[in-house]
Structure 1
Amino acid sequence: MNTKTIIKSCVVLLVTALTTVSCSDYLDVNDNPNSPASSTPFQTLPVAQRDLTALNAREMTYLGNFISYNWATPSNWSANQDFSRYTINSSFYSNIFETSYATIFKNLTYVQNYTDKTGVVDYSAYKAIASVLKGFQYQYLVDLYGDVPYTEANLRSGNITPKYDDAQTIYKAVIADLTSAAELALDLPDNAESPGKQDIINKGDMTKWAKFANSVKLRMLVRLSNTNQDAYIKAQIALIDANGAGYITADVATQPGYSDNADKQNPFYGYFRKPSTNAEQDRGDYTVATDYVVNYLSGTNDPRLNRLYAGAKTGGAFKGAPQTTTLPGVGFTSNDLAKIGPGLIVPTTGMTAAQTIMSMPEILLLQAEAIARGYIAGGDAAAKTKYEQAITASFTRLGVPTAATAAVTYYSQALPNVAWPTTGNLSAKVQAIITQKWVALNGTSSIELWIEKTRTGFPAGLPQPAEGGGIRPVRLLYPGSENSRNSLNVPKQTAQTAFTSNPFWK
């Protein structure tokens, strides 16, 4: 039996889903004695994929839905007051930064740098996958924090106090890495080892990884639309066209074998429901719809309302609450308000469902905007087609009955930001696209909604929390742990930085 056969025959996924490799970096001063002394990409890749998925499905989606005013808190709970008051400080959602470096980047970098000492196994496919996922997460760190460690990061004990690199420089470096990753995925060495089932996202299908790389890259290029770099954006899209893979044609989703057991449920489902009994977690009880999102969906005759939200336990009404810490006690308790609905927390299969990390509605809306801006050929008719396809895809993935027909009925209404604008005004088209993204990504990749609101100003008229000071935050602050460990390199911030320091692409 040769080395490759031995590696393929190892049944390690369930074991490694509970471990990480013992690779210290600048957030890891000491080795973890509970981690194995060594690992291979075969063992390490699914751990990185699992951790990236959980962070994006839970904390980042929860944060995005509150900052974009989709979710609120009922009067019988005192949770989530930081959202209503916009208390953005060094401890607010600090695990987004910390988890990215301490586990996700640590393991992805290990995969990228790994060399098989026997010379038998070629891990190029693993390396391409790691590059795509690393780019996916670095994009969010730059969007949410600005300058972050990049060139000197993830060096383990080689540098535990890395410098912070310029945000725009990182963006372009990541875009270049995604280009290279797509090319490698499509042209692997003949002896490259296939990850197979150890790739818990695409099961070793490298064409799908090239499509995913192209899709993340398009997201980043559209993000640069306000930076007067149209020539660069078009040149990069030409490179996407050149590799021939195109963009994703189905949701990108993670499936390690989620089950209805403690710590093994689908991460979004498990954030709101308990294993075995499937009773509400406390978070499931204190997370409700805002009055604004319910009124908006009702006012546009949108059948996604009763998929995104569930009618109140008392009376079944679709009622929301404002984001405030001073709600009255009558009529605004968790039993009186609409909670997260069956299109997001699927009652019978949600605990075992694959967890989406990039959806078809998003990539179709990104293409619609890129076409409308002239980055992709096709003109207004092609942009309109992508826009309507995105709405249909949203109806389908949320389980709206007779989704295709219902979607046509919906977007055929002569309503602003529902029907495709007949005017040639670019701003009107972008407003419609981002407003539809605000609906379609509610509960899925919802951090995009906050970031897109910062970039475009849409949806227009989105309320502010009553105690929020009237200014929506535009970024997160570096965590206190980073200020302690890497104080000489962390950029200086004040309490107002989260509200005044716009991303470079704004």
Structure 2
Amino acid sequence: MKKYLNIFTLLILLSLLSACKKDLDINNNPNSATGSNIQPALILPNAITVTAANTLTYNNYASILIGYHLPGRGVSGFNDIYSYNFTSSSNTALWDNVFTNLKDYQYIISKSQNDPQLALFNAIAHIGKVFNYQRLVDAYGDVPYTEGLSGAENVSPKFDPAATVYQSLVKELDEAIAKIKTNAPNAGTTVTELNGGSDVLFGGNLTKWIQFANNIKLRLLVRADGSSIGSFVTAAYTTFSTEGFLLENAIVNPGYNASSKQNPFWNSYHSSVTGEATSIATYYIPSKYIYTFYNGPLLTDPKRGSLIYRNFPATPTGQLGDERNNPNAIPTYSAWYTGTGTGLTATNTIGVLKGRAFGMPVFLASDIYFLLAEAALNGHVLSGDAKSNFDKGILASYQYLETNANNAIENGQNPSTDLKAYQLANQNNYLVNYDLASSKEQRLEAIITQKYIASNTINGFESWSDFRRTTYPKIQANGSPTTTFVSISSASPRPDKLPVRDVYPQTEYNLNPNTPVINNAFSNPIFWDLN
């Protein structure tokens, strides 16, 4: 417990220092580097913790775009979400928070670059940097990568082409893995520091860091497959490290607790440390569209439906853009399953939220299985065939939801039995039973649809990226609330009435003349979006 308190004390101090600097510097550039003499061992836990918190920021924003949840009646400030008419003032945290996080990783990289004793910190920081840069590319396209973290040396960094950045990120991961392998045998005190609290993701397990890097690399390659860098992708598929992939949930936990620093997911979807219900708990609702994957007519899945939603199978109301004037849109407390009690009386449970002290997921086991399935579908068999990984991905989804706040399968739960019941209940549907898919396109639809279900409320940004890339899960143009998640107030001129990207923040336009001019969210799709 003492090491966790030390970590949180450090996080508070860093936050105060950052806040003071921001208040004093009216021309603060989010691309500037951190200036300090703090050791990497003290910066790393903050960097990883913030990465996890940013995962929630991306999830909450994209979950509305992809139909996981809707802002209920009475919530103001969502006009750009209702219309998708994003401007340079919309969703700015997606850019600003990630670049702030990247400065932490870059600080570690710079501080450890020429110190063999800090080589492992250097490698881990590079992995964290890649994880964050992919988010930026997937949201914005071109980003300042080669010059973006130069700090005061270059306050107007150039923007590198998104496809080029993707290639650089793959190479950066390969180099980080090689550095870990080279330095692990003589790590000594470095591993002790990682085990002692610096590594709040894997506790100094270097094999897991290599596998995690392989996971991120696979996500990059799957997303870019078939794009303008197709030949690079094909070659990179042959260069995975032999340690394989991380086939478990990657969970960040710096010592979350109920009294002072609870899990950001709980803090966002449930209640504060004082027991006050959050705006999401009070006003957010599921879409009718997402319920069709649990309560028909598309699929039947009462187990996962009841693990995610508080009032399942009660039918939700509204569609994005419609619920503003819907008097039935506001839930009595929370639309998500939170066990018994409310506020401070709420108990730990299973499902999406689990408890105040549970960790933050940054990469789900289901996600890597579905990535492996899609890679195999495209001819890159890395660890099992497409069908086996497809089934394992669904199983991993049940396992995660049936895991309790102690990170163990809850007594009385049986994910394997639940998977079989799911397959039987949908025995004639290729979206559940992979062998029934009669074409490559149907198999891709099955993989992405199940990945969409497994990511529900947990990782909406991945689902939005997958939808832009594949157009799955299927929606109907101008459909009803049960056949589409598209807002009825959409201003998009596209046939699907959806956005394809985010718009750079106004601060970038003010500070950096190299920022690409993006007039709206309906054009200039990301390079891997071929639709």
User: Residue 112 of structure 1 aligns with which residue?
Assistant: 109
User: Residue 407 of structure 1 aligns with which residue?
Assistant: 419
Deviation at 1:153, TM superposition (A): 1.3
Aligned length: 480
Contact 2:304 2:398 in 1 (8 A): yes
Deviation at 1:231, TM superposition (A): 4.3
Contact 1:207 1:245 in 2 (8 A): yes
Change (3 A) 1:342 1:388: farther
Contact 1:318 1:338 in 2 (8 A): no
User: Residue 14 of structure 1 aligns with which residue?
Assistant: 8
Deviations 1:72-100 (A, max 9, x none): 13334445343222131111111111111
User: Residue 181 of structure 2 aligns with which residue?
Assistant: 186
Deviation at 1:277, TM superposition (A): 4.6
Which residue of the other structure, out of 476, 480, 489, is the alignment partner of 2:502?
A: 476
Contact 1:90 1:478 in 2 (8 A): yes
Q: State how far apart, in whole Å, the 1-side matches of 2:253 and 2:382 are.
A: 35
Deviation at 1:209, TM superposition (A): 0.4
**Once structures 1 and 2 are overlaid, which stretch shifts more, 86-95 or 449-458?**
86-95
1:133 pairs with 2:128: yes
Contact 2:321 2:488 in 1 (8 A): yes
Q: Aligned runs of 1:306-385 on 2, under 5 Å?
A: 306-311=306-311, 317-325=314-322, 327-335=324-332, 339-342=335-338, 347-348=347-348, 350-376=355-381, 382-385=385-388
Q: State how far apart, in whole Å, the 2-side matches of 1:150 and 1:31 are.
A: 10
User: Residue 67 of structure 1 aligns with which residue?
Assistant: 65
1:439 pairs with 2:453: yes
- What SS class does the counterpart of residue 370 from structure 2 fall into? helix
Unaligned runs of 5+ in 2: 349-353, 404-412, 476-483
Contact 2:256 2:358 in 1 (8 A): yes
- What SS class does the counterpart of residue 310 from structure 1 fall into? coil
- What SS class does the counterpart of residue 385 from structure 2 fall into? helix
**Once structures 1 and 2 are overlaid, which stretch shifts more, 433-442 or 179-188?**
179-188
User: Residue 168 of structure 1 aligns with which residue?
Assistant: 163
Q: State how far apart, in whole Å, the 2-side matches of 1:31 and 1:224 are.
A: 26
User: Residue 262 of structure 2 aligns with which residue?
Assistant: 265
Deviation at 1:331, TM superposition (A): 3.3
Q: Aligned runs of 1:32-181 on 2, under 5 Å?
A: 37-57=36-56, 59-78=57-76, 80-101=78-99, 103-115=100-112, 122-181=117-176
- After TM superposition, the score normalised by the length of structure 1 is 0.88
Q: State how far apart, in whole Å, the 2-side matches of 1:431 and 1:238 are.
A: 26
Q: State how far apart, in whole Å, the 2-side matches of 1:39 and 1:342 are.
A: 40
- What SS class does the counterpart of residue 106 from structure 1 fall into? helix
Q: State how far apart, in whole Å, the 1-side matches of 2:27 and 2:133 are.
A: 16
Deviation at 1:233, TM superposition (A): 2.5
User: Residue 4 of structure 1 aligns with which residue?
Assistant: none
Unaligned runs of 5+ in 1: 1-8
AA of the residue aligned to 1:362: D
AA of the residue aligned to 2:48: Q
**Once structures 1 and 2 are overlaid, which stretch shifts more, 455-464 or 386-395?**
455-464
Contact 1:310 1:318 in 2 (8 A): no
Contact 1:267 1:355 in 2 (8 A): yes
Q: State how far apart, in whole Å, the 2-side matches of 1:311 and 1:377 are.
A: 41
Deviations 1:114-164 (A, max 9, x none): 1499x6x71111111111111011011011101110111111211111111
Q: State how far apart, in whole Å, the 1-side matches of 2:282 and 2:55 are.
A: 21
AA of the residue aligned to 1:275: S
Deviation at 1:338, TM superposition (A): 7.1
- What SS class does the counterpart of residue 188 from structure 1 fall into? helix
Deviation at 1:411, TM superposition (A): 2.6
- Give identity over the alignment, percent: 25
Contact 2:295 2:305 in 1 (8 A): yes
User: Residue 3 of structure 1 aligns with which residue?
Assistant: none
1:459 pairs with 2:473: yes
- What SS class does the counterpart of residue 72 from structure 1 fall into? strand
Contact 1:26 1:159 in 2 (8 A): no
AA of the residue aligned to 1:431: E
Change (3 A) 1:280 1:318: farther
Deviation at 1:274, TM superposition (A): 2.7
Deviation at 1:222, TM superposition (A): 0.3
- What SS class does the counterpart of residue 255 from structure 2 fall into? coil
**Once structures 1 and 2 are overlaid, which stretch shifts more, 194-203 or 273-282?**
273-282
Q: State how far apart, in whole Å, the 1-side matches of 2:386 and 2:490 are.
A: 36
Deviation at 1:14, TM superposition (A): 2.5
Q: State how far apart, in whole Å, the 1-side matches of 2:323 and 2:462 are.
A: 28
Contact 2:67 2:287 in 1 (8 A): yes
Q: State how far apart, in whole Å, the 2-side matches of 1:386 and 1:140 are.
A: 25
- What SS class does the counterpart of residue 183 from structure 2 fall into? coil
Superposition CA RMSD, Å: 3.0
